[in-house]
Structures are given as structure tokens and as C-alpha cells.
Amino acid sequence: MSEADEILDVRGLLCPLPVLKARKRLMGMKQGSVLRLEATDPASVIDVPHYCAESGNELVDKVQDDDLFTYWIRRT
């Protein structure tokens, strides 16, 4: 997946900041919008899916390219 309504670059930030910033951004987005989250925190592979499951937002896709983790999250 490559399309996103907004992009949030949280590279260099460590847990829990990537998820907290994603949560804040998603709260300001319209239902159905997609956020692309770009992170370098290895813990994000656990934190982001867990956040989506708990919040009810949809984790549409995730890709790892070396040390970069990219997530597409649809606000529900």
C-alpha cells in the first residue's frame, strides 16, 4: 500500500512516543482516512499492531525496509 491521507515521520523516537504521536494525529483525522507512520523503533512492530487492536483502528499494511518500519493505519 502506498496511498495515505497523511504521513507521520517518527523516525528516531522510541517507545511510547511513536504510538502516542500516531494516536494524537489519528484523533484529528476523518473516519476512513489513512495515516502512514514511518518509524525506526524496533518495538513499533509490537506497539503499533497492539495500539490498533486496542483502539479499533485498522492496521491496513506494514512494511519493513532495513531499519525503517512503515505502517498504514485507517482511522475507524
The pLDDT tens digits of the residues spanning 10-68 come to 999 999 999 999 999 999 999 999 999 999 999 999 999 999 999 999 999 999 999 99
| d(C-alpha 15, C-alpha 45), whole Å | 11
Does 2 have pLDDT greater than 80?
no
Number of domains in the chain: 1
CATH classification at residue 69: 3.30.110.40
Does 1 have pLDDT greater than 90?
no
* CB burial of residue 66 (10 Å; 0-12, 13-18, 19+): exposed
With respect to residue 21, please indicate whether it lies within any of the assigned structural domains.
yes
Catalytic residue (choose from 13, 15, 20, 43): 15
| Interval 24-37: pLDDT, tens | 999 999 999 999 99
- Residue-range definition of the domain harbouring residue 28: 6-74
With respect to residue 1, please indicate whether it lies within any of the assigned structural domains.
no
The structure's pTM equals: 0.95
Rounded (to 5) percent helix, strand, coil in the chain: 30, 35, 35
| 15 among known catalytic residues | yes
